[in-house]
Amino acid sequence: MSDKNYLTTDYTLKSWFLTTDHKRIAILYFASLIFFFFIGGAAATAIRIELATPQADLVSSDVYNRLFTMHGIIMVWFFLIPSIPNTLGNFIVPLMIGARDLAFPRLNLMSWYIFMLGGCTTLFAIVAGGVDTGWTFYTPFSTLYSNSYVIVAAAGVFIAGFSSILTGLNFIVTIHRLRAPGLTWYRLPLFLWSLYATSVILVLATPVLAITLLLIATERFFGVGIFDPGIGGDPLLFQHLFWFYSHPAVYIMILPGMGVINELISCYSRKQVFGYKFVAWASLAIAAIGFLVWGHHMFVSGQSLIASLVFSFMSFIVAVPSAIKVFNWTATLHKGSIHFDAPMLYALAFIGLFTIGGLTGLFLACLAFDVHATDTYFVVAHFHYIMVGGMVTAYFGGLHYWWPKITGRLYSEYWARTAAVLIFFGFNLTFFPQFILGAEGMPRRYHVYPPEFQVWNVLSSGGAAILAVAYLMPLFYLGYSAFFGRRATANPWNAPGLEWQTSSPPPEFNFTTQPVVTRAPYQYNEDFQAEPQNA
């Protein structure tokens, strides 16, 4: 047995671009996602600078429309949806279940290439002149009235969808077939339960998006009346199809985040997750009910009032399993031994931000209030609390938590905590004022606005400046640690998960001997009470 790990087996470029090692593919995804995150983030920064004043001083209306469309498309499809599943998930899933790799290693590599093809297609649309439809591609604007690169951008998203489906399939088969001896379903870490639920949504919902984008292309190219009423189509049909995918997609984004939080809360309070089975099944419940709420995006669209009633009811119901999770995380802290390491700070921030995002989701599920708030900044604030406050915070938490496993190095705890606190502060300053803006009635997607909205917009833009700096910080201290950080032990946090039972970074095929599982997850009781290494 040599002491080579997956990073040092080979150094050639070919060994990276033709690898079938899930860990290396995770690194490929990671590098691509950082790239997309900063493109989307740059667009967001430009948007917030423009909105600091009521006039259009920085960009024209057309440029602004292209900016927010690019921000949305890149962030949703090329960062949020693949982030945790394709980087952390790809890296950790086989390690967590004691497997040598994912079930289909070559399919995994292919998924990355498809993802990059989709990403490059979309980038081409942006470089060639941009898209101005908004990430929702609402018809008939997108099919008949937009003079921008709608088809190219939609093609990029369409291609990336195949990557999602293949990754989802790969995870489902892996979790079913490759678990180590003794690893029963109820011994599975909760991160895997949530990735499993996510994968089910990916496989079932993404094809609907693909069909919808194909229909847009059909109408644009051949003038077939599908969505345009002038030639016999129905504009609301598009919204039904689009949200049938895109609402479950929100759960694709948040469920993996919730999964990460289970690992973090449990590790840093040295205690098993309270109500394991409730949390596990809550993931599947969210995935299942999440398919039945799409109509809550259409309460003012003119759909039947009865339909709105049913969708509103289902939207309240889907909040119940999310509430269960929040209460269970809080109860996990009770009688724990809590360490405030950087990942734990992210986890605590997640609970707060996700709860605010979730509660304001109820405001929007509540029919009469939604009539006022929908399509205003209230909605913008709400989904940023879920997606950025929730998902991105969880991603950063998970990244710090597994960083020593991925790189074999420890990062600076001081800088990591500073960044976590700054992100929390900057985030709230950016997005909380937007709730107030929305409640006062400022519509979204406006680059000029009546002057009475300026105060809150200035606060929001100021917060965005802090947030931008805070999101850049990990790039430096994590980047530094990857090369010069202290060496990490196999199990720096002293956690009981299988992924910590092999060296850091792991060898090419993960384990030198096949692990056997004999107990439930999160057993911090006996051997795992010692301090984390970084503390």
Partner 1 sequence: MWRQWIPFWQPGLSPHSGDVDLLFAGLLIASALVLGLLFLLLTLFCVRYRADNQADRDDRVAKSWHWEVGWTAASFVCFLGLFVWGASVYFQIYKTPADEHDVFVVAKQWMWKTQHPGGQSEIDALHIPVKRSVRLVMASQDVIHSFFIPALRLKHDVVPGRYQDLEIEVDRPGHYHLFCAEYCGTDHAGMIGEIVAMEPADFSNWLTQQAPSSPLADEGGVLFRELGCSGCHGNGSKVRAPPLEGLYGKPVPLSDGTSVIADDKYIRDSILLPRSQVVASYQPLMPSFAGKISEDQLLRLVIYIKSLAGHPS
Contacting partner 1 within 430-449 (CB under 8 A): 436, 439-441, 443-449
Q: Pattern of binders to partner 1 over 351-380, x per CB under 8 A? A: xx--xx--xx-xx-xxxxxxxx-xxx----
Shortest Cβ 319–partner 1 spacing (Å) = 6
The C-alpha angle 336, 351, 76, rounded to 5 degrees, equals: 140
CA distance 304 to 481: 57
Torsion sign (Cα): 383, 384, 389, 394: positive
Nearer to partner 1 by Cβ, of 20 and 301: the residue is 301
Nearer to partner 1 by Cβ, of 211 and 535: the residue is 535
Shortest Cβ 498–partner 1 spacing (Å) = 21
Q: Pattern of binders to partner 1 over 203-232, x per CB under 8 A? A: -------------------------xxx--
Q: How far does CA 78 lie from the centroid of its chain?
A: 10
Long-range contacts of 211-215 (CB under 8 A, 24+ apart): 211/241, 212/238, 212/241, 212/242, 212/245, 213/137, 213/154, 213/155, 213/157, 213/158, 214/158, 215/241
For partner 1, which residue of 201, 280, 348, 391 counts as binding (CB under 8 A)? 348
Nearer to partner 1 by Cβ, of 126 and 459: the residue is 459
Shortest Cβ 328–partner 1 spacing (Å) = 7
Shortest Cβ 87–partner 1 spacing (Å) = 28
Shortest Cβ 200–partner 1 spacing (Å) = 22
For partner 1, which residue of 152, 180, 210, 323 counts as binding (CB under 8 A)? 323
Shortest Cβ 6–partner 1 spacing (Å) = 33
Nearer to partner 1 by Cβ, of 363 and 480: the residue is 363
Q: Yes or no: say if 401 and 263 are a contact pair by the CB < 8 Å rule.
A: yes
Shortest Cβ 338–partner 1 spacing (Å) = 5
235 binds partner 1 (CB under 8 A): yes
Shortest Cβ 305–partner 1 spacing (Å) = 6
CA distance 122 to 142: 16
CA distance 161 to 436: 35
Nearer to partner 1 by Cβ, of 5 and 523: the residue is 523
For partner 1, which residue of 138, 415, 432, 480 counts as binding (CB under 8 A)? 138
Select from 120-128, 203-211, 328-336, 394-402 the region that touches partner 1 (CB under 8 A): 328-336
Q: 283: which 2 tokens?
A: 């993931």
For partner 1, which residue of 17, 113, 145, 186 counts as binding (CB under 8 A)? 145
CA distance 289 to 298: 18
CA distance 229 to 500: 58
Shortest Cβ 455–partner 1 spacing (Å) = 6
Q: Yes or no: say if 71 and 384 are a contact pair by the CB < 8 Å rule.
A: no
CA distance 120 to 235: 29
For residue 349, give the amino acid letter: A
What residues numbered 93-132 form the site for partner 1, per CB under 8 A? Answer: 132
Calculate the dihedral angle through the C-alpha atoms of 321, 327, 328, 331, rounding to the nearest 10 degrees: -170
Nearer to partner 1 by Cβ, of 309 and 469: the residue is 309
335 binds partner 1 (CB under 8 A): yes
Shortest Cβ 335–partner 1 spacing (Å) = 4
Shortest Cβ 367–partner 1 spacing (Å) = 3
Nearer to partner 1 by Cβ, of 321 and 505: the residue is 321
Going through 412-527 in order, the beta strands assigned E by DSSP cover 486-487
What residues numbered 444-473 form the site for partner 1, per CB under 8 A? Answer: 444-450, 452, 455
The SS3 of residue 228 is: coil
Quick one: 457 exposed, middle or buried, by C-beta within 10 A (0-12, 13-18, 19+)? buried
CA distance 330 to 117: 42
What residues numbered 168-187 form the site for partner 1, per CB under 8 A? Answer: none
CA distance 174 to 200: 13
Cα separations in angstroms, 499 against 6, 91, 211, 502: 14, 10, 39, 6
Count of Cβ atoms closer than 10 Å to residue 60 Cβ: 11
CA distance 284 to 473: 35
Shortest Cβ 211–partner 1 spacing (Å) = 21
For partner 1, which residue of 123, 326, 381, 386 counts as binding (CB under 8 A)? 326
Q: Pattern of binders to partner 1 over 280-309, x per CB under 8 A? A: -------------------xxxx--x--xx
What residues numbered 254-283 form the site for partner 1, per CB under 8 A? Answer: 269-272, 274-275, 278
The C-alpha angle 21, 26, 30, rounded to 5 degrees, equals: 150
Nearer to partner 1 by Cβ, of 10 and 413: the residue is 413
What residues numbered 46-65 form the site for partner 1, per CB under 8 A? Answer: 61-62, 65
Shortest Cβ 365–partner 1 spacing (Å) = 8
What residues numbered 484-523 form the site for partner 1, per CB under 8 A? Answer: none
Residues that bind partner 1 (rule: CB under 8 A) add up to a total of 89
